[in-house]
Structure 1
Amino acid sequence: MDHTAFVLANTRPHPVPLIPEILLRTAPDVITLWEATNTTDPPFWAFPWAGGQALARHLLDHPHLVAGRRVLDLASGSGLVAIAARLAGADHTTANDIDPRSAAAATLNAALNDTVVHPLTADLLHEDATDFDVILAGDVFYDRTMASRVLPFLRTAATRGATVLVGDPQRAHLPHSEFTVLAGYDVPVHTALESAEIKHTTVLTPK
């Protein structure tokens, strides 16, 4: 399958609500697209999720966090956070996701914003990711299985000295005691995905 053609056929460029300076290819109808993907998971690459929006906004407002550094955007989806990191001055940004359509979306979205990210389709959660100075994770605590895998990965990265930043819109499986809140944002979201118009979303770092 031509993943780039699929993304192009099912999305249109739109400004990101909390980060209007960034354009993102977004699906006009979440249900129709989800059915077209023939998967149980929603098309994470086709929407600006709350955690990613908050994290992207935080990076653009605090560029020193990534400027001149090698950055990993974990579970990148659309590539929004990776793009924000590049626009904030990151030296090299990897947009990592297990979905090959995410790689296509991240590449297209980066070009839409006159920048380049490096897509990587792989499961990195069993690795140490020692090649990166900064680990970014937008909205990764959405279920118990993912939370149980991602938390040790983030802990290990923080212990070895990497900057670790998480964007989270009050997901049930976020272990609050493990993190310090750095900032909070009220993020406009897609009601078909979140059953809400606004999600209060925090940017956190491991204690």
Structure 2
Amino acid sequence: MNDDDLSRLLQQHASRHPADEALRARVRTQMTLQAAAQEAPPAKPRWRERLASLVRIHPAFAGAGGLALGVLLTMLMLRAPEGQLPDDLVAAHVRALQVGPLFEVASSDRHTVKPWFQGRLDYAPTVLVEPLHEQGFVLLGGRVQAVQGRPTAALAYQVRLHKIDLYQWPVDRSVAEEKLQRRGFNLVHWSDGAMQYWAVSDVDVTELERFAAAWRAAAAH
């Protein structure tokens, strides 16, 4: 009996049972993750490499001028290109879900998670627990995630069967809420003038907006 014969027998005689909603949700999530992992990330812009090469080889940039341009280059490299950043955040979220770690410190206690970042980052991330927990968003823990070469705070939350990654780092300007979608994942981005936040999840966009609204309301108190 070959594989075709076996497949035919299974189709004719095997019993079938409808999957419950929990199993369907897990299957949909895995299909989304696999599709996201198989897609090649878009090519990264080459302007950084060209600028760095210019600073290294052009004699006009020697001395004080070279120092000034070097500072400018450093500042530009720390600024995330808007088109690439959402893709990189989704890729980091997918890797954390597939191979881990989703969190390096496992705790729903703010006074455990927030101090854990000391010495691992050059800024203190905001960690919120109770106001979000009351609305169904449970803190699982935190990790340091490399985002475009920069160590970044990532907090992992859960709502029902869905995981939410909240990335945050310092910024010097406020940004209105922005919604995006990449490869089946939703992103909500906002800034309070001191920190900027990116929430990433496969949860429905209205639920992710509810998470962002709950965070902003809690942070304002």
TM-score range, shorter-chain basis? under 0.3
Kindly name which structure, 1 or 2, has the bigger radius of gyration based on alpha carbons: 2
Greater per-residue helix proportion = 2
* Larger RCO (CA under 8 A, 6+ residues apart): 1
Compute the TM-score of the two structures, normalised by the length of structure 1: 0.25
When normalised by structure 2's length, the TM-score is 0.24
